[in-house]
Amino acid sequence: MQESMNGVYEARAVDYDIFTEAPTLEELKVAIREAVDKHFKTGKYGEKPALIHLHIVKEEILFS
């Protein structure tokens, strides 16, 4: 997950076609749970994982 250039937090799954975004980090965590629940609800993609691992990336540019 990362903060985009326009200040919105974005998250995407590594091995699944899951993407979501939210204006705050706390709202993003809720949106991630909802997106994962929705993706695995039908059982078409297997069992929902018991844990969701978040990898936070923060990129900054420094000018010299």
Question: Residues 5-48: pLDDT tens digits?
Answer: 678 999 999 989 999 999 999 999 999 999 999 999 988 888 89
Q: How many CB atoms lie within 10 A of CB 28?
A: 20
pLDDT at 57: 84
Segments forming the whole domain that contains residue 8: 1-64
pLDDT at 3: 74
pLDDT at 38: 94
Q: How far is CA 46 from CA 10, 19, 20, 36, in A?
A: 24, 18, 20, 12
pLDDT at 30: 97
Q: What are phi and psi of 63, to 5 degrees?
A: -100, 140
Q: How many domains does the chain have?
A: 1
Q: Do the Cβ atoms of 20 and 29 come closer than 8 Å?
A: no
Determine the Cα–Cα distance for residues 63 and 55; give it in Å rounded to an integer. 26
